[in-house]
Structure 1
Amino acid sequence: MDETSELVELVRRSLAEATRREFDERVETQAALLRERIESGAFDNRDFAVGLELEAYVVGPEGRLAHAPKRVLEIDGCAGELGRHNVEVNTPPNVLDGAGLDAQLRALEDRVDAAREATRADERALVLDAMWTIPPEEGTEAYLSAVKERDGVSLAANMRRSARYCALDNAILAERGGTVDVDLPGVNASFPSILVESLTSSIQPHLQIPRAKRFPAYYNAAIRTMGPLLALATNSPFAPADCYSNPDRDEARELIDRTHHELRIPVFERSINVVDDGKVRFPGDIESAADVVDRIAADRTQAPFLREWTAEADDAHADRFAELEHKRGTYWRWLRGVVGGQPIDAANDERSLRIEYRPLPTQPSVEDAVCLQALTVGLIRGIVAADHPLTDLEWEATKTGFYDVVREGIDAELVWLTADGERTGGSERIYGEIFDLARSGLHESGVPEESVERYLGPMVWRFEERTTPSRWKKARVRERVDDGASLPEAIRGMQREYIDRAGRPFAEW
């Protein structure tokens, strides 16, 4: 049986009703066991710890989207993602302290540098960005719509050849009538694959929480930080240039003003969700650490796989909870809990509980990514260490603020509870507390003062200057339109300038 035939067979087995029943039974059994182990303290560790995932994409001549060379995916810490142009770079976890943050920066620099060198050998480049906007030669529609069918299974040509991705694609297409619709400011399109989700790239800081009993406090605090932190990070205001018509200058200016600062959020939600309150959405509060397991178990099952179909897992946890781990891979809340991971040292083994922080877009440089990571973990740590009342802020207001940030970026209307329990929408008051709490959280973790300021300084600068990568992108496109370029030309010109600058810290632009 050739490789494609094996892929098709796995997809067909995944979509069978008998597979779903068996998978769901195993998930239920595994969830009950894992809940019991969490509550018994089996996943407690000594220290707070951090890790990071960074997603990027590859371009060729003139900044056009290109497939990632195979050698990139063979680099330690690098992996493929949904699209054949996507690359994911992971850092190994470190204890949260000054040495740990420095190790995160070095590891990410080394792996990104290696990936850049590998792409350069093929006259391509790795771009740290949240959304690609210059399509390959054939254009966005053709690239995302290149699909063939084999034995009733849809195969997207530019999707990574993964049975998991392909099964998910076919499951979602079946529920959506064969198309994935995208409705964004200035863009209304339909595609025959979830590959449209591969427009997006993110960074995902991880924070290991030592004690299961304290996990809900950190998780619920993290939810309430998502809007303010996303506001400092927005980086995806434009879809691919050829998705737009050629509006006149006034219409183009109006579209530039109203396009979302973070299109990545609606693109991901609309490309994956098939029902209201779908798999990609704003997360809810939890009452116990074991709730994260129950939420995954109760989530809609899509594209199930059984452990015996794939290669053996590389650790006992993943093998014992294989179906539950597979289902976690399709539980796409913008914040989620993860049980199990990599060992760090003798006091922090692979039996861990961590927060996976998912709303942040990929940043222009490695330094920006790690600074945002430090702000995120420091803030969450600082809120709980100070017994700050932020978690008393009602969930609905938090969610409303988050989606306002998606649209308005750093100008969004946010709501915050101060240390005195006072409700405020004043940005100076909000971010004053955010930076103070992040500093205290990092100090609490043993990060030296000099390192704290080095990591937080670039994020403080963004707030003081009221600038973010998305604002930079909007300004550059507006300048080009004012100078007579069409909107698609202006987006392409902006993107080439971004690619030239990416790799240097945003504050130096």
Structure 2
Amino acid sequence: MGKDLVTAVFTPHDRVLFREKVRRCVDVLSGMLATEPFEAGGPSAGLEIEINLVDAEAGPAMRNTEILADLDDPRFQPELGRFNLELNVPPRDLAGTGLGDFENEILDCLRAASECASKDETGLALIGMLPTLTPEHLVPANLTDNERFRALDAEIAGARGDDFRIDIHGAERLVTSSDSIAPEGACTSAQFHLQVAPDDFARYWNASQAVAGVQLALGANSPFLYRRRLWAETRIPFFEQATDARPDEFSAQGVRPRVWFGDRWIDSILDLYEENLRYFPPLLPELSEEDPVAVRDSGKTPLLYELRLHNGTVYRWNRPVYDVSADRPHLRVENRVLPSGPTVADTLANAAFYFGLIGRLAEEPELWHGLEFARAEANFRAGARDGIDARLAWPGRDPAPATELVREVLLPVAHAGLDRFGVQPAQRDRLLGIIEDRCRTGRNGAASQTAAVRAAEERGRDRTAALREMTQRYVEFQRTNEPVHTWPV
């Protein structure tokens, strides 16, 4: 979620100064893109995985502070809810055995975290939304004790000026409300980062938007919330509604939401930062002492703190990232589309499919030329709503089952993209083989959860007991690291 804040109370003058500082940061970045050497693109990638803590009954365990203190590993950080952790996996090249090295490091990290958690009779669950959550769990008292989280809650709730209302129509319907952003803690994701050269950024971001619906269809893993079966990836509409800072009047006027797919293809990373400045008022106007103009004029690399902080409060599903490492700037596409889980193997298969797809589609945009932006967003909604059963559009084809589109068109593209990045063939084939088998069996995380709950209910369990039984079973299978399509019902 980002850096802790020094200040928790902001004045209107703070917001004016902050907006002016973001403007200077954007102008400085514009000049840097034209003249400064950025770290090259290429197959350098990173991963973030959000994790749920569960007790023996598969309910949320509010123990992240204690577990983090015992674990003492800077790769793990707290997330919004006291039952959430985030694992930040250091970046590495995708070439050669990079994807397999990612998998081994994640498994090692999770083993260590699991050992610490087990001392408190707590387990780890990689799942898009913990199915045993109830509204009583997602309250301000269960927010992590963190200055940034408290400030964010106050600012978004204050901007809204009313309760956050949730109304999701799926297989069943959920209507509820909250007076804080605490329900956002239900949403746990796996985020992929790819470093790109400035001249390549727009093509990679556009390609990421184009395939977001396919990612969701294959990777959906959030069918249940508050004992209701909703969308295959309920995390998408729930996150949008649970953090919607717009009063109803602003929504009716077409003001853009902070959780946003976007509304056009771009030509430069500056297009996204300009939109952030133009459309979204500051939420956390914390000012740094850095003068980005003076820093750049001195020959050093500015951190552009205000630009990065503001960008962190605009929740694009594919987010631009400016960062500095060893006094060298670089750019990344942060892909935030997918849920966490079901297993580390499934997560790395999703990553291989994503990196392979955009590795080819960004370099050969003619392969998807003709996909309208509105159609890409419609695919995104369909993938989230219907999951593995979604029908998706693609240039030159009538809307077709996602599994058919992937097997006939997109898997060969992903193979070629991973080859372009120099991924070891054995790793390429293993991970993309998981994607192919998922399509062949029609079983992803959401389908597996739904089938297990249905089976439990047919044995006479009520919904609460069925969800608890399914989640306990899910955690056990997750520990095997066998892909979800192989799990028995």
TM-score (norm 1): 0.84
1:133 maps to amino acid: P
Residue 69 of structure 1: CA displacement?
4.3
Unmatched runs of 5 consecutive residues or more in structure 2: none
Q: Percent identity?
A: 29
| Residue pairs, 1:425-504, within 5 angstroms | 425-427=399-401, 428-503=404-479, 504=481
Match of 1:183 among 167, 182, 187: 167
Q: In the alignment, which residue of structure 2 is the partner of 1:414?
A: 392
Distance, in Å, in 1 between the alignment partners of 2:387 and 2:41 is 37
The yes-or-no answer on 1:199 pairing with 2:186 is yes
Pairing 1:173–2:157 present: yes
Cα pair 1:180 1:192 within 8 Å, conserved = yes
Q: 1:402 aligns with which of 380, 384, 388?
A: 380
Give the AA of the match of 1:297: L
Q: Provide the C-alpha distance between the structure 1 equivalents of 2:13 and 2:430, rounded to a whole number of angstroms.
A: 55
- Once the two structures are superposed, residues 134-183 of structure 1 have per-residue CA deviations (whole angstroms, 9 ceiling, x without a partner) of 24xxxx333323xxxxxxxxxx2211222222122112222333422222
Which residue among 132, 139, 142 is the counterpart of 2:136? 142
Does residue 72 (structure 1) correspond to residue 68 (structure 2)? The answer is: yes
TM-score (norm 2): 0.88
Query: In 2, Cα distance between the equivalents of 1:114 and 1:186?
Result: 39
Mapped to 2, the partners of 1:463 and 1:326 lie a distance apart of 39
Q: How does 1:322-333 map to 2 (within 5 A)?
A: 322-333=305-316
The alpha-carbon distance between structure 1 residues 266 and 350, as it changes in their structure 2 partners (threshold 3 A), is farther
Say which is worse superposed, 49-58 or 365-374, in terms of deviation.
365-374
Aligned to 1:338: 321
Correspondence for 2:271: 291
Distance in 1 between the 2:87 and 2:325 partners?
15
Q: Is the 8 A contact 2:288 2:305 kept in 1?
A: no
Q: How does 1:274-313 map to 2 (within 5 A)?
A: 274-275=245-246, 276=251, 277-283=256-262, 284-308=264-288
Q: Quote the Cα distance in structure 2 between the aligned partners of 1:377 and 1:113.
A: 26
Unaligned runs of 5+ in 1: 1-6, 146-155, 245-255, 344-348
- For residues 154-303 of structure 1, the aligned pairs below 5 Å read 156-184=140-168, 185-209=172-196, 211-241=197-227, 256=229, 259-275=230-246, 276=251, 277-283=256-262, 284-303=264-283
Q: Specify whether residues 350 and 219 from structure 1 end up closer, same or farther in structure 2 by C-alpha distance, changes over 3 A only.
A: same
- Assess if the C-alpha contact under 8 Å between 2:65 and 2:78 holds in 1: no
Following superposition, the deviation at residue 443 of structure 1 comes to 0.7
Do the aligned partners of 2:45 and 2:94 also contact (CA within 8 Å) in 1? Answer: yes
Matched-pair contact (CA < 8 Å) for 1:172–1:274: yes
- Higher mean C-alpha deviation, range 460-469 or range 64-73: 64-73
TM-align CA RMSD: 2.4
Greater share of residues in strand: 2
Shift of 1:125: 0.9
Deviations 1:99-130 (A, max 9, x none): 32222222222222221121112111111111
**Once the two structures are superposed, what CA deviation does each residue of 1:455-492 show, in whole Å capped at 9, x if it has no partner?**
21111110111111101111111222223222233222
Q: Say whether 1:10 aligns with 2:7.
A: yes
Displacement of 1:341 in angstroms is: 4.9
For residue 415 of structure 1, give the secondary structure of its aligned residue in structure 2. strand
How far has the Cα of 1:64 moved from its partner? Answer: 1.6
Structure 1 contact 318–325 (Cα < 8 Å) conserved = no
Contact (CA 8 Å) 2:7, 2:286: kept in 1 or not?
A: no
The Cα of 1:342 is off from its aligned counterpart by 4.5
The answer as to whether partners of 2:126 and 2:341 remain within 8 angstroms in 1 is: yes
How many residue pairs end up in the alignment? 458
User: Does residue 55 of the first structure (1) align with residue 41 of the second (2)?
Assistant: no
